[in-house]
Structure 1
């Protein structure tokens, strides 16, 4: 079992907390973890993202995989490691950035949309692939990609995923999902996020 699989085998859904504030990250994080989530991502275009990551990492320790999204530079990798994060998520497939992240012991989910990008990321040593944006990668395209990608390489559609759209992607070969605004939007309280989280977990487990 890979280190990423030790989390995705529990629940392969990534909570994307874009726009979250450090002073609200722990109540939201606790609501997600109580619902069953084990992978939490704070995109770097959020207010004080590394502070939020540090708070989550300290709160949950090794039991929960905490990482940063929308990462683009090696300087960001250094800050992520210092904050206690262990997962790098990017909107793009940069082989050099993937290799740099792996050299620092991080898990990686780079964004890809084509076979060329996918295999470049695989050759760079990625742990999984973020199919992004999923709005332009429908299930039939996922099925075609899955036919040529290594069976052991997990793929996670991200972008516009709702509880009722997951089944078609799973049938096409998706291994999990990244969940953004349908799960969390800035200003939502922990109770509202908990309700949405339970809906996604139920859709996955009953799909």
Structure 2
């Protein structure tokens, strides 16, 4: 699948599940629960120990599998070789942008300021992760799109069932969710995470 097809799928799906686990098995179970619940874009963070084992377990699913918390080009290359179809960072890293461009992989760095966004755009980033989104209002997107009308933003951090639609109405091309999915899994187990994932997809379908 080429870079633009992956970007198109993410913008059509509207939801990317950001998966953090205390160990690989937990992350794999949470990922599978999200996929069973209908979420088709999974971001496996490199804060999860032995995350490459999770990639191996998910390689044959029909979901897009990406890598998050990628801080350098070495990690980005490791993720791509493990099967990552997109790369996400908490902030812009020039070396990661160059490597992803070389391999035709979408790179979505975290940005908060106009300068950071302009730098990421010039480096070939098609979607920018607005992070942390829980510190700002959805109207921020409209303000950014004034001077930078081509910026496509994916707010992440503090996104939940109650505010996701507000962000999408404000112009977000997708949203990154995760903390409440993790809480559901820890409190109610696999089935609770599946049901919450279904609720997210129902919200999108409304």
Q: TM-score, normalised by structure 2?
A: 0.88
Q: Aligned partners of 2:21 and 2:29: how far apart in 1?
A: 15
| Consecutive unaligned residues in structure 2, runs of 5 or more | none
5+ residue gaps, structure 1, are: none
- 1:205 counterpart = 2:205: yes
Q: Secondary structure at the match of 1:163?
A: coil
The counterpart of 1:34, out of the listed 24, 36, 48, is 36
Match of 2:47 in 1: 45
The aligned counterpart of 2:6 is: 4
1:25 deviation in Å? Answer: 4.1
Q: CA RMSD in A?
A: 2.0
Aligned residues of 1:88 and 1:109 also touching (Cα < 8 A)? yes
Give yes or no for contact 1:98–1:124 (8 Å, CA) kept in 2: yes
- Give 2:167's aligned residue: 169
Match of 1:141 in 2: 140
How many angstroms apart in 2 are the aligned matches of 1:197 and 1:20? 20
Q: How many angstroms does 1:148 deviate by?
A: 2.9
Q: Distance in 1 between matches of 2:22 and 2:125?
A: 27
Distance 2:39 2:22 in 1: 17
Aligned length in residues: 202
**1:93 maps onto 2:92 in alignment:** yes
Give 1:190 shift.
1.9
Q: CA deviation at 1:85?
A: 1.1
Equivalent residues in 2 for 1:115-194, closer than 5 Å? 115-151=114-150, 153-185=151-183, 187=186, 189-194=189-194
The 1:28/1:180 distance shift into structure 2, 3 A limit, reads closer
User: Per-residue CA shift, 1:98-138, capped at 9, x if unaligned?
Assistant: 12222122211110001111111111011211000001221
Contact 1:13 1:178 in 2 (8 A): yes
8 Å contact from structure 1 (residues 131, 137) kept in 2:
no
User: Offset at 1:141?
Assistant: 1.3
- Alpha-carbon separation, structure 2, partners of 1:81 and 1:170: 29
Deviation at 1:29, TM superposition (A): 2.8
